[in-house]
């Protein structure tokens, strides 16, 4: 995944916010990592996803080479 852009899509009040980074660029990775950690603290769940049928897995730590990360907001029962 070196040299290619990775994406984090954050579901929020704007519809979604996308953050992209190049894993070879430390500054971009740092921004993505900080955002990831902040959202996890807020209650978001992170998932590494692949394809439209959402094959993937839950992430508990940031991975700069994850490819595509979906940040799911905290859910509650209704």
Partner 1 sequence: MPFYSPTGSTVPTWVTVTTPLTTAVWFGLGTTSTTTANNYIGPISTVTATTVTQTAYSNGLLAQQLWAANSQQQYAQQQYQNCLGGLGSLGALAAPALITHQEQAQRDQELYRRALAEHDDQEAGRLLRQIEARELAAADRQRLVEQQMQQNREDQQRRAAATDRARELLLEHLTPQQRETYVKNGWFVVEGGRTKTKYRIRGGTLVANIDVLDKRDRSMHRLCGHAQSHIPMGDQLLSQKIMLELAEDDFLRIANRHAA
Which residues lie closer than 8 Å to 42 by C-beta, 6 or more apart? 74
- The nearest distance, CB 23 to partner 1, in angstroms, is 23
Adjacency order of strands within the sheet including 68-72: 17-21, 6-10, 68-72, 45-50, 55-59
For residues 2 and 53, which CB has a smaller minimum distance to partner 1 in the complex?
53
Q: Which of 78, 77, 54, 1 is nearest to 69 (CA)?
A: 54
Report the site for partner 1 in 3-62 (rule: CB under 8 A).
9, 11-16, 45, 47, 49, 52-54, 56-58
- The nearest distance, CB 45 to partner 1, in angstroms, is 7
Residues that bind partner 1 (CB under 8 A): 9, 11-16, 45, 47, 49, 52-54, 56-58, 70, 72-78
């Amino acid at each position: 995944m070196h040299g290619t852009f990775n994406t984090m899509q954050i579901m929020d009040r704007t519809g979604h916010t996308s953050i992209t980074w190049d894993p070879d660029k430390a500054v971009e990775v740092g921004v993505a990592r900080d955002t990831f950690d902040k959202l996890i603290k807020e209650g978001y769940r992170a998932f590494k996803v692949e394809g439209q049928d959402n094959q993937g897995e839950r992430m508990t730590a940031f991975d700069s080479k994850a490819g595509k990360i979906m940040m799911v907001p905290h859910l509650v029962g209704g």
